[in-house]
Amino acid sequence: MALQIISPPAIEPISLQEAKDHLRLDFNDDDSLIESLLIPAARQFAEDYTHRALITQTLEYSLDDFTKTIKLPKPPLKYVISINYQDLTQTIVTLDPTQYQAYPEDTPAIICQSYGTIWPVALPVKNAIKIRYIAGYGNPQDIPATLRAAMLLIIGHLYENREENTIASGTIQTLPMGVKSLLNPHRLVSFS
């Protein structure tokens, strides 16, 4: 099983002005740092920690075989674009949307075969099935306030501690108090 980002978020959940207001900055010297590094780092940490997609993005989930219920990572699910699989003749086939049902209201979202149908037989190779879908809350104002507040705390911490080794190997080594408390109610343990 593998998850790939096909189209990353077009915008960030926190605007430069929101970050500057939180940081109480009234100068533009650090705008590039805040916009190109700190805001994306805060979003990525929140997404990785909660196992959710915050802003609308296109994802592709690969599986080896069809299962009765397929759980899609990085909810919330907006909609499934396509399900492709490699059949026994090694041909890539797009599954007819009438063959499956997506349940975006579930967390995580699930895909099941439609009533009266059976999953096709996929070639028994790694990642024979690819599910492409749109996930994320939508626009920044659609993201729960606690997730946005956690990201602002992270941005503030990274801004104030630039010289410290706060980011190593793509993870934030130290976090301000309250970040995990704000993120935990949204965390999905089924994808930990």
Residues 86 and 123 in one domain: yes
Choosing from 88, 115, 135, the residue where a domain stops is 135
Whether 1 is covered by a domain: the verdict is no
Q: Which amino acid is at 46?
A: A
Is the pTM value of this prediction over 0.85?
A: yes
Whether 32 is covered by a domain: the verdict is yes
Whether 7 is covered by a domain: the verdict is no
User: What confidence score (pLDDT) does residue 174 get?
Assistant: 74
| 60, 129 contact by CB (below 8 A) | no
- Residues β-bridged to residue 140: none
Q: By mean pLDDT, which of 59-68, 69-78, 134-143, 181-190 is the weakest? A: 181-190
Residues 131 and 65 in one domain: yes
User: What confidence score (pLDDT) does residue 119 get?
Assistant: 95
Closest to 157 in 3D by CA, of 137, 140, 178, 141: 178
Q: Which amino acid is at 168?
A: A
> Per the structure block, which two tokens stand in for 78?
């907006």
Residues 82 and 150 in one domain: no
Q: What is the 3-state secondary structure (H, E, C) of 102-144?
A: EECCCCCCEEEECCCCCCCCCCCCCCCEEEEEEECCECHHHCC
- Residues β-bridged to residue 130: 62, 84
| pLDDT tens per residue, range 3-30 | 999 999 999 999 999 999 999 999 999 9
User: What confidence score (pLDDT) does residue 189 get?
Assistant: 81
* Alpha carbon distance 154, 43 (integer Å): 9
Residues 124 and 161 in one domain: no
**What CATH code is carried by the domain that includes residue 38?**
1.10.3230.30
61-76: average pLDDT: 95
Cα dihedral 177, 183, 189, 192 sign: negative
| pLDDT tens per residue, range 142-186 | 999 999 999 999 999 999 887 664 554 455 667 878 899 999 999
* Alpha carbon distance 154, 164 (integer Å): 14
Which domain does 95 fall in, by range? 57-135
Residues 42 and 61 in one domain: no
Rg of the chain over all Cα atoms, to the nearest angstrom = 19
Q: Which amino acid is at 149?
A: A
Residues 129 and 149 in one domain: no
Closest to 48 in 3D by CA, of 1, 3, 109: 3
Report how many domains make up the chain.
2
Angle among Cα 75, 77, 81 to the nearest 5 degrees reads 135
**Where do the H-state alpha helices sit in the chain?**
16-23, 31-33, 39-50, 145-160, 179-183
| pLDDT tens per residue, range 81-116 | 999 999 999 999 999 999 999 999 998 999 999 999
Residues 102 and 150 in one domain: no
| Unique residue bearing structure tokens 């976090």 | 175
Residues 18 and 80 in one domain: no
